Amino acid sequence: MKRVLKSLLALLLLGSLLLLTGCIQGVQTSELALVEAVGIDRTQDGQLKVTLQIFAPQGSGSSTAVDSSKNNSAILTATGETLSQAMEQANRAQGKTMFLGHNRVIILGQSLVQESVQPILSYFDRSESTRQNARVLVSAVSAEEIVATGVQQGILSAESLESMIQQGEDSDGALECNYFTISMQLDDTGGSTLIPVIRPVEEQQQELASQEQSSGGEDGSGMSLLNAFEIQGTALIQDYALKTVFSQEETKGLCFLLDQVDSQVLVLHHENTTLSAHLHQCSVSWQLSGDGAVLTVQAQATIDELLQPGEAENANDFSAMEEQAKQEITSLCQSAYGAVCSYRANVLELADQLKWSDSKAWEAMTSNPEEYLSSLPLTVKASVTFDRTGLETNQKTQG
């Protein structure tokens, strides 16, 4: 009898599960416009202007849906008093629903970041289709100018832009800038974060890059467009608005402070020798000591090239180079730390870094992090060890 009752109960439970079906109407992919990049600007009349780069495949024949030799994207612009209104206008203009699940890049225009970006980011926070690892950049010009540039390298323009950002992160020329991290930091700090800046390259630099590509036999038509922009500097956002832009040198120091050093290159000089040192296996740790913070940086370095070989490099020369590398790292860290402290910006995540060193200091820091940071001195202890392979090779060559 008990077995029969258990069987009936199991059937009732299974039957009830059949009633728990979804009630969301399905959407066909043919009804969606796949957004690859989003640019947002504030117009002179106070409207929000959104520039969307959407996937528009251009096949080369019946057997090929996508032709990688062509720019498989289209540009759509729309305006509205709010971002939601502008996106609705884009939906109507395209006759499809804008789908952000494939979006690679979000560009915040110069005119937009001068005011609070909180309403803009709240739209992406509330959209269930927002791609959390989309890169976020602040533009030194209009966002439309960046998104609408017809970069021909790769299948999609946004793909090339994403690759540029990835290269900047890998070479420590830019901080990590995925949407999820930035959104979380803005919430945790009450509106403060760091975002890389994309800006046009100066005309002389563009001409030099085009000449180098032409001499190398590359197609300059698409590459010249790619070289029209660069990731340079870092925007400090406070109270959800742009406060200042840190220089590229300060950005390199921020990479150390935030433990985001992957592949930084230092150019070092000693007497008659100049070399390019490539840092790797870099470890960064924070602790409290006395009345200040101590940042310990340990790194290995390989010699990429001897830019100006001396007459007879020896172990003493390279020991001096190691010492100079330590001084360079210390200078970069102190410069970046001083810049952050001068704005009382809570963007270094020191509460998490130092909470295990001193519980009382951690409590003081969490209660008023901006005030605590501005009065906290920093000591940098850097250690760099060179791989001596370059020395041995140079000695054999000169011998």
Strand bridging mode 105-108 / 32-42: parallel
Angle between helices 179-189 and 118-126 (to 10 degrees): 120
Report the pLDDT value the prediction gives residue 350, as an integer from 0 to 100. Answer: 79
The predicted-structure confidence for 104-137, as pLDDT tens digits, reads as follows 999 999 889 999 999 999 999 988 889 999 999 9
Q: Is 149 helix (H, G, I), strand (E, B) or coil?
A: coil
Average pLDDT, the chain: 79
Instruction: Give pTM, 2 decimals.
Output: 0.80
Pick the range with the lowest mean pLDDT from 151-165, 213-227, 279-293.
213-227
Distance CA 112, CA 90 (A): 19
Residue appearing with tokens 């609070």: 116
Tokens of 179: 């949407």
Q: So what's the pLDDT on residue 8?
A: 67
Q: Sign of the CA dihedral 267, 273, 277, 282?
A: negative
pLDDT of residue 9: 66
Range of 125-139, 270-284, 301-315 with top mean pLDDT:
125-139
Of the ranges 14-23, 130-139, 153-162, 390-399, which one carries the lowest mean pLDDT score? 390-399
d(CA 296, CA 188): 25
Which DSSP state fits 237? E
Every domain range in the chain assigned CATH 3.30.300.210: 248-399
**Highest mean pLDDT of the ranges 74-88, 147-161, 194-208, 288-302:** 74-88
pLDDT of residue 134: 93
Contacts of residue 87, defined as CB under 8 A and 6 or more positions apart, other chains included, come to: 50, 78, 80, 98, 123
Quote the pLDDT of residue 137.
94
Taking the C-alpha atoms of residue 195 and residue 112, their distance in angstroms, rounded to an integer, is 14
Q: Got the DSSP string for 279-309? A: EEEEEEEEEEETTEEEEEEEEEEEEEEEEE-
CATH class of 248-399: alpha beta
The predicted-structure confidence for 207-266, as pLDDT tens digits, reads as follows 554 555 444 444 444 444 456 788 889 999 999 999 999 999 999 999 999 998 877 888
Kindly report, residue by residue over 183-210, the tens digit of the pLDDT. Answer: 999 998 889 999 999 988 866 454 554 5
Residue 166, by phi and psi: left (phi above 0), alpha (psi -120 to 50) or beta?
A: alpha
The model's pLDDT over 55-104, given as tens digits with 9 standing for 90+, comes to 877 654 544 455 555 667 788 999 999 999 999 999 999 899 999 998 99
CB 317 within 8 A of CB 271: yes
More confident residue, 340 or 220: 340
